Amino acid sequence: MGKIIAFHSYKGGTGKTLLSINLAATYARKGKNVCLLDLDFRAPSLQARFKANGNEYWLNDYLNGACEIEKVLIDLSHLLSGNGNGKFLVGLANPSTEAIREMTAKDRKWEMRALGRLLSLRNSLLNDMHLDYLIFDTSPGLQYSSINAIVAADVAIVVTSLDTSDIKGTQRMTNELYDLFEKKTGIVVNKVLVDMLSSTAGKENFSEHFHNTHNLPVLDTIPCFCDVLRAGGTCVFAEEKPEHAFAKTVERIAQKIEKL
């Protein structure tokens, strides 16, 4: 049985997209069949990294009921080096201004139908196509499209920064929302200053503090890496620099997800 993992956060820019891509690549490199879906219709991001030549359909079309999911998926398995890799499929959100405006204006009735379409991905992708992991990269905040993604997932990973408003918002979100859905949930604290994590004791204190505030397991605390910032989202560390500390962190997160 495959697993659906949704990355979510209260605020934007916490690292959801970066972590989604790298987690997907980590699994694929381990021989797992993975599909990564851009469900951030307000700020589509994956098309910037995985340029699709001539793909006619977007996830927007799938959710609108205009096509089946197979039409949307792009097979990027060939981008992975080495042997023994699994499939690496990607579904993109339409980045045009018109599409973004259209998606932001959807009403609740549409969102309910879209939830049905998301839920049926378990059958089409996990059961029929035998994929091992489906990874949702979502919009930050509490709009219906993100809630739908969490409802459809088995595991929710909340990524937070150390920004005070992010910490407070994340706390409200985990207390009210995630409790309600009773999802397996883990927290990732990202972009932490290196000196705050310089000792093992410091790192443990940090995790304990977040664990106590949210009453949820902390999957990892990730430093703010200059290399990652410098790459500007163009490098898939898990594939191109698997020995880098960031790639190693994502590997640890992948292992912890299995234990949630």
Ligand X SMILES: Nc1ncnc2c1ncn2[C@@H]1O[C@H](COP(=O)(O)OP(=O)(O)O)[C@@H](O)[C@H]1O
Query: Do 173 and 158 form a contact (C-beta atoms < 8 A)?
Result: yes
Give the SS3 label for residue 38. Answer: strand
Phi first, then psi, for residue 112 (nearest 5°) are -65, -40
Q: Rounded to whole angstroms, what are the CA distances from 109 to 64, 88, 102, 137, 182?
A: 12, 33, 15, 23, 24
229 scored as a contact of ligand X (CB under 6 A): yes
Residue 12 lies near ligand X (rule: CB under 6 A): yes
From CA 8, how far away is CA 225, in angstroms rounded? Answer: 21
As measured in angstroms, the least distance from the Cβ of 141 to ligand X is 11
As beta bridge partners, residue 185 has: 156
Q: Which does 146 bind (CB under 5 to 8 A by kind): ligand X, Mg ion, none?
A: none
3-state helix, strand, coil in the chain (%, to 5): 50, 15, 35
Query: Which residues within the stretch 14-33 sit at the binding site for ligand X (CB under 6 A)?
Result: 14-18
Q: Does 145 bind ligand X (CB under 6 A)?
A: no
Return the one option of ligand X, Mg ion, none that residue 2 interacts with (CB less than 5 to 8 A, by type): none
With CB cut-offs between 5 and 8 Å by kind, which of Mg ion, ligand X, none does residue 122 bind? none
* Strand order across the 218-223 sheet: 74-75, 88-91, 34-39, 133-138, 3-8, 155-160, 184-192, 218-223
Beta-ladder partners of 86: none
Residues 1-40, interacting with Mg ion (CB under 5 A): 16-17
Number of residues binding to ligand X, judged by CB under 6 A: 18
> Contact region for ligand X (CB under 6 A) — 13-21, 96-104, 120-128, 150-158?
13-21
Q: Which of these ranges, 61-69, 174-182, 204-212, 229-237, lies near ligand X under the rule CB under 6 A? A: 229-237
Site for ligand X, residues 171 to 190, rule: CB under 6 A:
190
Check residue 45 for interaction with Mg ion (CB under 5 A).
yes
Does 13 contact ligand X by CB under 6 A? yes
Nearer to Mg ion, 23 or 129 (CB): 23
Total residues binding Mg ion (CB under 5 A):
3
DSSP 236: -
What, of Mg ion, ligand X, none, does residue 218 touch, CB below 5 to 8 Å by kind? Answer: none
- CB count within 10 Å of CB 241 equals 15
**Residue ranges in contact with ligand X by CB under 6 A:** 9, 12-18, 45, 190-191, 222, 224-225, 228-229, 232-233
